[in-house]
Amino acid sequence: MISQFTSSVVSNQKLGEKIFKLTLSSPYISKRAKPGNFVHIKVGSTYSPLLRRAFSVHNVDKQKGSFEVLLKVVGRGTGILSEKSPGDILDLLGPIGKGFSLPQEGKTVMLVAGGMGIAPLWFLLNNLIGKTDKEKLLFFSGAKTEKELLYCENLKDLGANLMVTTDDGSFGTKGLITDLFLKEIKGRKNDSSKLMVYSCGPPEMLKRMSEISKGYDLSCQISLEGNMACGVGACWGCPVKLENGWYKRVCVDGPVFDAREVVLE
């Protein structure tokens, strides 16, 4: 159930240029959030900016009753959030949305993150560790440059098979993460039914993931980050077109969709 509540900032850690990890106190979210859910945050105490900003739940700590959001400063709202200090109070709605469905036993699981798309996939990965054979767990992480790559060491420590690209070749393979992913899929095209793919990233990347999933009939769940207003399904301000001609709302029908179901422009 979506609730509105206040939450205090536990910590605000700078992880990279314009990238911050906010830890927020909330036993409610830490117990209820599932990978793929998001929270809608009112960034200040005034009516400007008016609209809440959406952030994927990045991880939870049930023992401490807290959760994390990973944010990149792209405009005014994220700029305000990046300046929050421990003890500051935020007004939140959450947990919102349909999250990722966990893979059936025996599947090979591939997580494909582009830039800040790692935010919800990190929470998912932490849920999969211990339940999925590590040899069958592949993590593809792409970023523009080495400076924007997050958690490479942590991913290795967790035991995931890590594949990395940067657009400029400053770390890992030079190129797009979707190209590396496609190469892997081509090599496994005879057993694509044994794969379960999860992805999040910028719109162009998810469009490509959707094309690849349709082409190889892959079971692939993508988390969309379209602009949204109310965040609770009332305003229909975040429609996504479906292959059958209908529309769904990113906020409450998603943000996670089957990549074969949606038409991304």
Ligand X SMILES: Cc1cc2nc3c(=O)[nH]c(=O)nc-3n(C[C@H](O)[C@H](O)[C@H](O)COP(=O)(O)OP(=O)(O)OC[C@H]3O[C@@H](n4cnc5c(N)ncnc54)[C@H](O)[C@@H]3O)c2cc1C
Query: Which position among 48, 63, 227, 244 is part of the footprint of ligand X (CB under 6 A)?
Result: 227
Q: How far is the CB of 161 from ligand X (least distance, A)?
A: 24
Can you list the positions of beta strands (E) in 154-263? 161-166, 173-174, 195-200, 220-223, 239-242, 247-249, 256-258, 262-263
Report the nearest approach of ligand X to the CB of residue 194 (Å).
29
Q: Are 200 and 54 in contact (CB under 8 A)?
A: no
- Distant-in-sequence, close-in-space partners of 57: CB < 8 Å, separation ≥ 6: 29, 33, 35, 37, 38, 39, 67, 68, 69, 94, 95, 120, 123
For helices 177-187 and 203-215, angle between their N-to-C axes, nearest 10 degrees: 10
Question: Is 56 a binder of ligand X (CB under 6 A)?
Answer: yes
- Residue closer to ligand X by CB (options 74, 129) is 74
Other Cβ atoms within 10 Å of 60 Cβ, number: 25
Does position 92 interact with ligand X (CB under 6 A)? The reply is: no
124 lines the binding site for ligand X (CB under 6 A): no
Residues 26-45 that bind ligand X (CB under 6 A): 38
Residues 15, 74, 234, 235: which binds ligand X (CB under 6 A)?
74
76 is an interface residue for ligand X by CB under 6 A: yes
- Of the two residues 77 and 142, which places its CB atom closer to ligand X in the complex? 77
Residues in the chain: 265
Number of residues that bind ligand X (CB under 6 A): 23
Question: Could you list the residues that contact ligand X (CB under 6 A)?
Answer: 38, 49, 53-56, 69-72, 74-79, 116, 119, 225-228, 255
